[in-house]
Amino acid sequence: MSKDVFRLTIPGKPDYISVARLTSSAIASKTGLNLEEIEDVKVALSEACINALKRVDEINIQFIIDDEKFTMMVEDVVLGEGEETLSKELQMGILIMKSLMDKVNFSSKGVELIKYIKDGIKDEHKLSIWYKGNGKRRN
């Protein structure tokens, strides 16, 4: 299994989020994701960067491509559990990330945003569920 890793550090200013969006778009286009999925990736990454803005001077992003998925890891993104003062904007951003990506994992380091690649486990998993639900084939 091959894995390509890209790292990007941008200043913690709103003006530079567009650089992260363009970078994610360029990298995601190499994975075979369709235009709608690439747009989802860009929006989810934007929300992660906005989340990190108030806590850091630099935003560190790692993009990882492997045979099954495209992963973006953004440092210093918080889920906000236990924070009563988390703004409505950040709460909405978390919901957006979760709705656009296939998997979102928060940790003490930041957030991991995952989009499964078409010919990988995403489609096979959906097909398996469809067959099981229709009783036509069992895996």
| Residue 139 falls inside a structural domain | no
Look at the pTM and tell me if it is higher than 0.75.
yes
Q: Lowest mean pLDDT: which of 25-29, 48-52, 65-69, 132-136?
A: 132-136
Domain assignment present for residue 68? The answer is yes
Residue 88 structural domain: 4-134
In a domain, 47, yes or no: yes
80 in a domain, yes or no? Answer: yes
pLDDT higher at 134 or 89: 89
Three-state secondary structure readout of the chain: CCCEEEEEEEECCHHHHHHHHHHHHHHHHCCCCCHHHHHHHHHHHHHHHHHHHCCCCEEEEEEEECCCEEEEEEECCCCCCCCCCCCHHHHHHHHHHHHHCCEEEECCCEEEEEEECHHHHHHHHHHHHHHHHHCCCCC
Q: How many domains does one find in the chain?
A: 1
Q: What CATH number corresponds to the domain at position 107? A: 3.30.565.10
